[in-house]
Structure 1
């Protein structure tokens, strides 16, 4: 009788301890889930707060100029006339030029590192890419202003004007004085800046392709290009597109490097050799000297427009990645 009582007591104690442990684990799991949900919601709150604060700060400019703020090319601080067309145009053009140059170069470097380069050469080049990614943007801007800009004015711009400026249809894009600074110079400097980021992403995802797939393709007689085009790219295209848009996001918001080499001129020109301005460079140049409420509001409104442009671009990238993922699932 005593043994049965002791056994029942021990069993009851073990059951109570198990229930207490389960309740404690459930409570800790709930705390963990709520903490993680709070962290996730914090991102949305910050996003909405940034958008709301910039929209509120730029409300005076939007009320004063209305839709004309998005269609006007004027930026006259003295007379209080502000338009966002030139900064938006400069931001989009320089970012597009940067992608146009950086994507093929990044693709070539990543393929070289994963498929072509000897083993002893891969580590130095990969380390150099990481070092380039860590250089501050102001260093790129100073290099562009003092080194690349004069080289552009003395050698590249005259050749571009003489040879590409005479082409039909697109000749107007390459006509202009050899100033050395302008949208083309800014696009090239931006391309140099974002190439390490895109290359790093492409290199990592190309390395994730199973070796058996590539070896099977080589065993069937495919060349290196065929393996890359038919095996590597289809396997990694979603991540590659994501890396490209990551570089685009960096180019859209770049400030200091573009400020040094873009020219900061509020004039609309179809020529890539002419100076222009970007949203980030205008804000960086003029915010400390904005002495009227309307001027400050116009600059904050530009910041809101940059937020909208970046959000639209990244949202389009997300939709593209979702479509690619669905196709891969099929």
Structure 2
């Protein structure tokens, strides 16, 4: 009599099912990654194709031209003023936000008592959830009057305007209060929670034995942070700063409320100017479909993408060079 073959072990069945699940999961992940690339490529291509008429009309000088005249029959457009305003406002915002974010992260990880860490940390995270238009309205009705009355026209502005060599950066002929400085300050407040939360989280990831060893050698808290924590977390810290810079470069509504939207390069931080995002927000709804103005606005959007990409590429290069060092 023949014998019946025994059924396959349960482990073999489970192994086949597991391999199938792994394969499905792998292809789902690949599809998600490809979808992101397709979406990004679609946005780039759409902006570039939309901006081609303006690029053909004005050529490469569009990038540094300061002309902007949407009047029909005399249409002249250039991105120079908007690019300068975007970059300067974002850099000023980073200069203001990074020290504050570091102070918040240092306080939460090294100084704050346990009962205070959670409420302050939650408040910082909630600040990131405030809509940008709320920041814009708050900046217009609160920050702008303070800057106008107590800084620009007050003794602080007068003292800074008299500084040798750099006083011209604080002397302004505009007294409306809406200015490059107001936009940078509002942006700094907006990006502060992103940078501070990143710094706090990575500071908490430093192995306690590293800090305890430094304390055992007699290091102070500041020396531990400077010589142990920051070198260990510098990659993540720079990444958090770049995240904040990317948010500042593309911010629209908050900046539109407080920057003044003047088509001129600011010679003082208290002068009104404009940014790429604010120009697009202000003029795109009024532009005619297929017009040279709309094409110029789409080209501005493409240039903003290029600026963001360049900033990201530079940060990647700096991080790699530091890691190799």
By the TM > 0.5 criterion, same fold?
yes
1:262-296 Cα distance to aligned partner (Å, 9 max, x none): 00011123211110000000011000111361000
Q: Distance in 1 between matches of 2:59 and 2:26?
A: 45
Match of 2:167 in 1: 171
CA contact (8 A) 1:154 1:178 kept: no
**Per-residue deviation, 1:326:** 3.3
Match of 1:14 in 2: 8
Match of 1:149 in 2: 144
CA contact (8 A) 1:106 1:198 kept: yes
The size of the alignment, in residue pairs, is 320
Q: Secondary structure at the match of 2:267?
A: coil
Match of 2:277 in 1: 280
Change (3 A) 1:232 1:18: closer
Which one of the candidate residues 139, 143, 158 is aligned to 1:162? Answer: 158
Which one of the candidate residues 303, 319, 322 is aligned to 2:320? Answer: 322
CA RMSD of aligned residues (A): 1.7
Q: Secondary structure at the match of 1:14?
A: coil
Change (3 A) 1:131 1:26: closer
Which one of the candidate residues 13, 21, 30 is aligned to 2:23? Answer: 30
Q: Distance in 2 between matches of 1:144 and 1:67?
A: 36
Report the structure, 1 or 2, having the larger helix content.
Answer: 1
Which one of the candidate residues 121, 127, 130 is aligned to 2:122? Answer: 127
Alignment of 1:70 with 2:63, yes or no, is: yes
Q: Distance in 2 between matches of 1:141 and 1:308?
A: 26
Alignment of 1:39 with 2:14, yes or no, is: no
Which one of the candidate residues 85, 93, 102 is aligned to 1:90? Answer: 85
Larger radius of gyration: 1
Alignment gaps of 5+ in structure 1: none
1:121-171 Cα distance to aligned partner (Å, 9 max, x none): 212211110111111111110011011101111111123441112223322
CA contact (8 A) 1:279 1:306 kept: yes
Change (3 A) 1:218 1:50: same
Q: Secondary structure at the match of 2:274?
A: coil
TM-score (norm: length of structure 2)? 0.94
1:101-130 Cα distance to aligned partner (Å, 9 max, x none): 000000011001100112222122111101
**Per-residue deviation, 1:25:** 4.0
Alignment gaps of 5+ in structure 2: none
TM-score (norm: length of structure 1)? 0.92
